[in-house]
Amino acid sequence: MNNSYSLFCKLIQEINIDKGLYFYISNQIGGPVDASDLLRWQWVQSVSALDKLIHDLVRIGMVQEYQGIRPATSAFNTFPLNMQTELIFESNPMFAPLEFESVVRKKFGTMSFQDPLKIADALAYIWIENHKWKEIATQLGMPENACKEKQKNIVIRRNQIVHEADYQDILGVRQSLTQTDVNDVVDFEYKLGTAIFQLVH
């Protein structure tokens, strides 16, 4: 899990390159240039970094549960495996953890763990804690509802950027965005990912 967190930190740090590029383009002599898509890219990348971290933590944690080196959660105990897969595990016990990891990757590969509810559902596979967002919010020094609402709003805007090109209405008006707005989002995603890692690893 430490390697997954290190990669998460690296992905967040790489967003600074986009910040520098945005600053450079926006301050070119000869008039302002619209480089706002670099801001949108930073927003999307920070959410993607968190999403990947959750995927990695859940995958690694579930393999650890499968190997018996991590307490199994009730969600883990109900993780579906078909008979053919179980027979493969039994016939190749040495490679069973790798096969199980492959099954987990396939199961969750098309899912996104960004929305607060989806994050809690994912963490249920590796974290025996009934009040996950309460613990996460406490780690962040925030009220639980404020923490969840902030993440939910970040994801809503992320989806507007990705799926609607951030256009607000049929008149073709794009939503405004500043580097300050993005800095706040990137900082929150980093702190959120760090808090989750600290609580589950």
pLDDT over 80 (residue 88): no
Percent of the chain residues past pLDDT 70, beyond the cut = 91
pLDDT for 25 equals 78
Percent of the chain residues past pLDDT 90, beyond the cut = 64
The whole-number average pLDDT for the span 79-95 is 69
pLDDT over 90 (residue 97): no
DSSP 8-state class, residue 94 = G
pLDDT for 180 equals 93
pLDDT (tens digit per residue) in 106-130: 889 899 999 999 999 999 999 999 9
Q: d(Cα 19, Cα 16) in Å, to the nearest integer? A: 5
Query: CA nearest 108: which of 95, 96, 121, 94?
Result: 121
Task: Name the one residue in this structure whose structure tokens are 């970094």.
Answer: 49
Mean pLDDT score across all residues of the chain? 90
pLDDT for 186 equals 96
For residue 174, list its beta bridge partners: 167
| Maximum C-alpha span of the chain | 69
Among 6-10, 82-86, 96-100, 141-145, where is mean pLDDT lowest? 82-86
Tokens representing 57? 């933590």
Q: d(Cα 33, Cα 29) in Å, to the nearest integer? A: 10
Query: CA nearest 45: which of 182, 160, 168, 139?
Result: 182
3-state DSSP helix/strand/coil % of the chain, to nearest 5: 70, 0, 25
pLDDT (tens digit per residue) in 180-199: 999 999 999 999 999 999 99
pLDDT (tens digit per residue) in 22-61: 877 777 755 566 788 899 999 999 999 999 999 999 999 9
pLDDT for 172 equals 78
199: amino acid identity, one letter: L
